[in-house]
Amino acid sequence: MEKKIALLPGDGIGLEVMNGAVEILKAIEEHYYHRFHFQYGLIGGAAIDETNSPLPEQTLNMCKEADAVLLGSVGGPKWDQNPSHLRPERGLLALRKELDLYANLRPVETVESLLDSSPLKREFVEGVDFMIVRELTGGLYFGKPSERKVYGGEETVVDTLFYKRDEMVRIIEQAFELAQGRQKKVTSVDKANVLESSRMWREVAEEVAARYQDVELQHMLVDHAAMALIHNPKQFDVIVTENMFGDILSDEASMLTGSLGMLPSASLSSTGLHLYEPVHGSAPDIAGEDKANPVAMILSAAMMLRHSFGMNEEAEAVENAVKHVLDSGKRTADLAKKGEAPLSTTALVEEVKAAL
């Protein structure tokens, strides 16, 4: 197959881990006789520095013409004091909105050989395997007004949690579709005892559930979910929730696996053009030091092979190679055990390539 892939390394460790993923994709290209056309674009802080915009027109157009987008990470202290329209995260949020990437899929799966790196006791995290489906283009992230106003001499501020019914329907449907291919259980997370939007969310979840009789639906309050992820994570199969709750819960859930450096994500759109990125951030403290864990980025590329290109065998080959390397005890600094010398980013990538 011939595929155009837009590569947006972004900031911090984004470039290093992206290089790792490209290495692996090139190896796949060779082994399986595909042809990948890689095109690089600027986003985030890097784009602000060069073009004074966190998402340049050119990058957006390049993405729209591609078959899939791979993103590294955005942000860093360098741009933290910028006005809000000139912040790196704005580039990512704008890209999500422009490409209508409404469904963020974050698989959380613990790896046997890494269980000892988890802050949680083995018996709590062994066998954990669930998927968080986070709504990504609505809610507090995009609602208007989002502004300050002076009333009677007093400064006030407002952000808006806004959803259309259709936006709820499509993301909840997505969760049910996924559950059908898994353990057939959806946990819908909301705050229905306080928020009107959550009460509507719950209604929509019930409506959708009626169309998927083979899938079980459970409702859970967000505060309870924040506990349940720790004391009983094995109960989950597919978790679906709105944007902000999803942001918080998925980062929390990432801790079950021991390192944020392990977790890939896919952001699916209505148009068929999807984006793949690691869950981790740009880690400015270790950027440029060839230390970052490239696994999340490599697994994001594997998700792309599977979801965007239908290359199931290739995706599995990458995932197995990663697993093989980790099982053999080779790890980057974030996961290395006491007394073991950690591998560099490039060295780990070489190992994965060799294992392919």
Cite the active site residues. Answer: 141, 191, 223, 247, 251
Stretch that binds ligand IPM, among 8-16, 85-93, 180-188, 319-327 (CB under 6 A): 85-93
342 is in an annotated binding site: no
Question: Binding residue per annotation — 46?
Answer: no
89 part of the interface to ligand IPM, by CB under 6 A: yes
Instruction: State which of residues 52, 81, 193, 213 lies at the interface with ligand IPM (CB under 6 A).
Output: 193
* Burial state string for 117-152 with b = 16 or more CB within 10 A and e = fewer than 16: bbebeeebbeebebbbbbbbbbbbbbbeeeeeeeee
Is 78 marked within a binding site? yes
Residue 193 assigned as binding residue? no
Distance of CA 100 to the CA centre of its chain: 15
CB 162: neighbour CB atoms within 10 A? Answer: 14
8 A C-beta contact, residue 278 and residue 265: yes
Q: Decide: is 71 part of the binding site for ligand IPM (CB under 6 A).
A: no
- Options 86, 93, 336, 356; binder of its own copies; rule CB under 8 A: 93
Position 289 contacts its own copies (CB under 8 A):
no
Of 29, 251, 319, 350, which lies in the binding site for its own copies, with binding defined by CB under 8 A? 251
Q: Does 252 engage in binding with ligand IPM (CB under 6 A)?
A: no
Rg (CA), the chain: 20
Q: How far is the CB of 26 from ligand IPM (least distance, A)?
A: 27
Of 30, 49, 112, 223, which lies in the binding site for its own copies, with binding defined by CB under 8 A? Answer: 223
Q: Which residue is nearest to ligand IPM (CB)?
A: 89
| Binding flag, residue 86, its own copies (CB under 8 A) | no
Distance of CA 111 to the CA centre of its chain: 18
- For residue 322, give the H/E element and its range: helix 312-327
Q: What is the DSSP letter of 284?
A: G
Q: Give residues with Cβ within 8 angstroms of 118, minimum separation 6.
A: 110, 125, 255, 256, 257, 258
Q: Does 92 bind ligand IPM (CB under 6 A)?
A: yes
The span from the CA of 147 to the CA of 61, in Å, is: 30
Q: Is 85 annotated as a binding residue?
A: yes
Half-sphere exposure at residue 180, Cβ-oriented, CA atoms within 13 angstroms: 10
Residues that bind its own copies (CB under 8 A): 75, 84, 87, 89, 93, 119-121, 124, 140-141, 143, 146-148, 154-166, 191, 193-197, 199-200, 222-224, 226-227, 229-231, 244-245, 247-252, 254-255, 260
